Structure 1
Amino acid sequence: MYREKWRPQLHFSPKEKWMNDPNGLVYHDGEYHLFFQHHPHSKVWGPMHWGQAVSTDLLHWEELPIALYPDDLGQIFSGSAVVDKHNTSGLKNSNEDVMVAIFTHHGEDNEKQSIAYSNDRGRTWTKYEGNPVISNPGLKDFRDPKVFWHKKSNKWIMSLACGNHIRFYHSPNLLDWSYLSSFGEEYGSHRGVWECPDLIELSVEGCDEKKWGLIVSVNPGGPNGGSAVQYFVGDFNGESFTCEDDKKMVKWADFGRDFYAAVTWSNIDEPIWIGWMSNWQYANEVPTDPFRSAMSIPRKLSLRNQDNTYILVQNPIDLKSLLGETIAHYEKVTVQPGIAKNLNVSIPLHIKGEVKEFDRETSSLKVTLIGEKDEVEILFDRKSSELNIDRRKSGNVSFSEEFPSVDTMPLQEIYDFEIIIDCASIEIFLNGGSSVMTEILFPNEDYTSLQVSVKDGNATLKNVSVYKLNSIW
């Protein structure tokens, strides 16, 4: 168990069967709870349940029994969870603070919002007898409730995905909800259905300023095809969200093909989120067994004021507890054309460093992961101002015609980099986390070599460290 081919060694994956969106992320009594969309009887999407797992450090996970099962009201689609510290719901019946899960009941005829509660630290759940707490107003898409306590207005706020926009509701007690406002019909990308919203307050780097961010997943329509996460930055006054950016501006959280449905943990001070590492273009077909899908590395969130616009910044949580042997460390190294730097490596792997300078405007920097017959190329091309990930020769790519790809992210410069490589994924964080790409991979054999090369000029790197990472299992 947990050593099967392509089983992630750094990322949460279910013991077996199907998983998609993270749900009900909440911290309570020393534990991070991760619920997830789960079909326990198949490796393909089917009747949705809430699987669950807990962790004390967001790295090492213990999978628990299924939390919520489908019932007469429908399947258990995505949602969120909160700790009702002041028992506003009146559902507390023990010495423990009551945990309340808010989710979508997906029936054949409609989608509506329901709740369940737990008085034993999330180990067992009881569905509220008055479900649904929000009936469907006549919309086909009406799902994925994300709830938080808004201190200034002293009420619970819910964000709901409604096809091409987000609706906000409020409640004093998690049971009785009233409509507040809507946002989004004229904003951002509408090349797919809007899903999995999250309204969060984020700190701006280097100052005391805070802004509100609205997270919205969209499928299809991502920058490289299929599923992706966009975001909006502005203000929330307790009733409505106002976006500061131009209506047609699209801000993507991650330019890779495999980061979707990301939402944040509730009941923590510093925003941390996690996403589903897959893409609906091929999620049902990836060649893993006996499980399908994994979650990303949890990431800390903030904003950066860059050229008078606010950019989402993501940085992986501290991985020091997983650090194994040091494969290489360079205080300073210059890479020259025709003379590649090669390292023997073993996966999983952590790479971190800085780019001191390129000596030409047309220089390119390439990092290649190499196996016996497979390779993955990561290319930064200064001339075209973009980063490319080429996974066409990465291993098993034949399971879907949508999978082999060269995926692109606009990028003017690289100042620093952090790369996390698991046996079936790669996550790239550039320039302090302001540019991010996540891709899944299925090498036929483990990658054993890391090669760094340049073209049309030298590149000087500094403080480069390459570490082996230990398994979370």
Structure 2
Amino acid sequence: MNYQEYDRPKVHFTPKKNWMNDPNGLVYFEGEYHLFFQYNPSSNNHDNMNWGHAVSKDLYHWEELDTAIKPDELGTIFSGSAVVDKNNTSGLFESGSGGIVAIFTHDGASQQQSIAYSEDNGRTFIKYDGNPVIPNTEIVDFRDPKVFWHEDSEKWVMSLACGDHIQFFNSPNLIDWTYLSSFGKEYRSHIGVWECPDLLYLPVEGSHEKKWVLIISINDDGPNGGSAMYYFTGSFDGQSFQPDQSPEDDLKWVDEGKDFYAAVSWDNTDEKYWIGWMNNWQYAESVPVSPWRSAMSLVRRISIIEKDGSFLLKQTPVTNDNGKLEKEEDIHVTPESKAVYNIESPSELNIQVQKDVSDVWGVDFITDKEELLRLEVDPVNDQYILHRDTGRTGFSNDFPEKIKGSLNGFDGSQVTAVADTSSVELFFDNGVTVSTNLFYPEGVISRFEIWSKAEKLQVEALSFRTLHSIWN
């Protein structure tokens, strides 16, 4: 049966077969959330890029549709975005009532930006006769246009990845584009090429303030090696982005895990949601799954919080609440006595421990074949460590046994974990710190154990539930 293979994730989108990478063209239109993605319809390798397509009504269950945009004489179809042209600013829609416009990179002899439009809810696209709308420059890596409508300037604004920096453009009609400014050459981390930018205007929780946030993906030099994402907060006046951070400041990582990349946000939604590619370019073509390759993360709602004058990204996973919720309170754990619970896979787990923990504590996820995925939380040293040294690990030397990350000055006392067939997504302190990691066991997770290394630990609240498959 489709989507029912033993190894296939149950709550993370995967294509029926073949290669997938970056999410593209995320847009909400006529009651549907569209997820387009980099897709090779003919093999399980990164080649022959098309836009695959799936839709959802709740950001959890997905239906895969036919390939949406295919290569042509200008090249294959690399990453990009989609918008709802509500007022038909492009003049492309015969009805005059607007529709979906996709903005993407043509990858041929060079990289150029092109558009296509759909008058049937994204099922088919008509490429614009005048493509490319932003022709080739001398920049080799010139790609991944992310577009939104900027209310103050009454123009469409594009963020474009240009190797070691971001360029901004605007347009009144999605066809005629004007260069505005550049950002980023003076900032750190240029070992990997900059990719998949997103410029967002996000609410600051607990206030009436909003902040501009510029998201960058880098395909090397992440905190645990390889692909990763970081962000800048700041201001945007319709012309240029001014960051809060100086070039000397530490980078703010979106997700310090090993396997979250190229996340971009949905257009035309009230709250901001995004999704990322759950893989790493160091071993993406080697992960031991078939007949598909790669999965998407869970969808996450994103916002900003303020702590000590700094603005931090917050991510909250979108899950299904139909599963039976098990709850307990005031659980006492000692080095000699773990709290042990049986559970089915996939599952969502929420733990709240006491605020003044001065010891290492953690959670073990254990499969029915006694394979161990261990999370250590060390608030004293402001870090967590995820051990993934069992299961299938030999497919790449870049698939590390330990993943380390900072708790960003929080105490790590609240943890949400979503464990699927081959991954775990960790959200610390209500989503201020996030870590996404693949895990390839031979068995399936059947229990979890909460433990403390040297001191008594009070678990103030615990809840967990089995999650329903997104394919049901």
Alignment match of 1:435 (pick from 422, 426, 433): 433
Deviation sequence 1:240-286 (CA, Å, 0-9, x none) = 00001121331100010000000000011111110000000111011
Q: Does 1:174 align with 2:166?
A: no
Q: Is residue 320–residue 468 contact of structure 2 (8 Å, CA) maintained in 1?
A: no
> Counterpart in 1 of 2:469?
471
Give, in angstroms, the shift of residue 358 of structure 1.
4.4
Q: Which moved more, 1:455-464 or 1:211-220?
A: 455-464
Q: Does 1:241 align with 2:241?
A: yes
The alignment covers a number of residue pairs equal to 466
> Partners in 2 of 1:316 and 1:247 — Cα distance?
31
Q: Which amino acid aligns with 2:346?
A: P
SS in 2 for 1:21: strand
SS in 2 for 1:325: coil
> Partners in 2 of 1:97 and 1:8 — Cα distance?
36
Deviation sequence 1:41-83 (CA, Å, 0-9, x none) = 1111111000001110011111111011111101100000001
Q: Which moved more, 1:244-253 or 1:437-446?
A: 244-253
Q: Is residue 142–residue 162 contact of structure 1 (8 Å, CA) maintained in 2?
A: yes
SS in 2 for 1:132: coil
> Partners in 1 of 2:352 and 2:379 — Cα distance?
16
Q: TM-score, normalised by structure 1?
A: 0.96
> Partners in 2 of 1:264 and 1:188 — Cα distance?
24
Give, in angstroms, the shift of residue 95 of structure 1.
7.0
> Partners in 1 of 2:27 and 2:324 — Cα distance?
33
Q: Which amino acid aligns with 1:324?
A: G
Q: Is residue 96–residue 119 contact of structure 1 (8 Å, CA) maintained in 2?
A: no
Root-mean-square deviation over aligned CA pairs: 1.2
SS in 2 for 1:285: coil
1:280-319 → structure 2 map (5 Å cutoff): 280-319=281-320
Give, in angstroms, the shift of residue 405 of structure 1.
2.2
> Counterpart in 2 of 1:403?
399
> Counterpart in 1 of 2:336?
338
1:9-408 → structure 2 map (5 Å cutoff): 9-94=10-95, 97-107=98-108, 109-248=109-248, 249-320=250-321, 323-326=322-325, 328-358=326-356, 361=358, 363-371=359-367, 372-393=369-390, 395-408=391-404
Q: Which amino acid aligns with 2:166?
A: I
Q: Is residue 357–residue 461 contact of structure 1 (8 Å, CA) maintained in 2?
A: no
Q: Is residue 96–residue 120 contact of structure 1 (8 Å, CA) maintained in 2?
A: no
Give, in angstroms, the shift of residue 97 of structure 1.
2.7
> Partners in 2 of 1:358 and 1:98 — Cα distance?
53
Q: Is residue 345–residue 448 contact of structure 1 (8 Å, CA) maintained in 2?
A: yes
Q: Percent identity?
A: 49
Deviation sequence 1:6-56 (CA, Å, 0-9, x none) = 211111110100000000000000000000000011111111000001110
Q: Which amino acid aligns with 2:48?
A: P
Give, in angstroms, the shift of residue 178 of structure 1.
0.7
> Partners in 1 of 2:60 and 2:183 — Cα distance?
35
Q: Is residue 86–residue 97 contact of structure 2 (8 Å, CA) maintained in 1?
A: no
> Partners in 2 of 1:357 and 1:460 — Cα distance?
9
Q: Is residue 351–residue 420 contact of structure 1 (8 Å, CA) maintained in 2?
A: yes
Q: Is residue 203–residue 210 contact of structure 1 (8 Å, CA) maintained in 2?
A: yes
> Partners in 1 of 2:244 and 2:188 — Cα distance?
12
Q: TM-score, normalised by structure 2?
A: 0.97
> Partners in 2 of 1:462 and 1:253 — Cα distance?
28
Give, in angstroms, the shift of residue 354 of structure 1.
1.3
SS in 1 for 2:113: strand
Alignment match of 1:444 (pick from 442, 445, 461): 442
Q: Which amino acid aligns with 1:289?
A: S
> Partners in 2 of 1:214 and 1:251 — Cα distance?
11
> Partners in 1 of 2:463 and 2:96 — Cα distance?
48
Name structure 2 gaps, 5 residues minimum.
none
Give, in angstroms, the shift of residue 381 of structure 1.
1.8
Give, in angstroms, the shift of residue 133 of structure 1.
0.2
Deviation sequence 1:306-356 (CA, Å, 0-9, x none) = 121111110112531xx3234x42121121112111111110001013122
Q: Which amino acid aligns with 1:368?
A: D
SS in 2 for 1:284: coil
Give, in angstroms, the shift of residue 188 of structure 1.
4.0
CA change 1:95–1:181 in 2 (3 A) is closer
Q: Is residue 342–residue 447 contact of structure 2 (8 Å, CA) maintained in 1?
A: yes
Give, in angstroms, the shift of residue 470 of structure 1.
1.2
Q: Is residue 96–residue 121 contact of structure 1 (8 Å, CA) maintained in 2?
A: no
Q: Which amino acid aligns with 1:471?
A: S
> Partners in 2 of 1:123 and 1:448 — Cα distance?
40
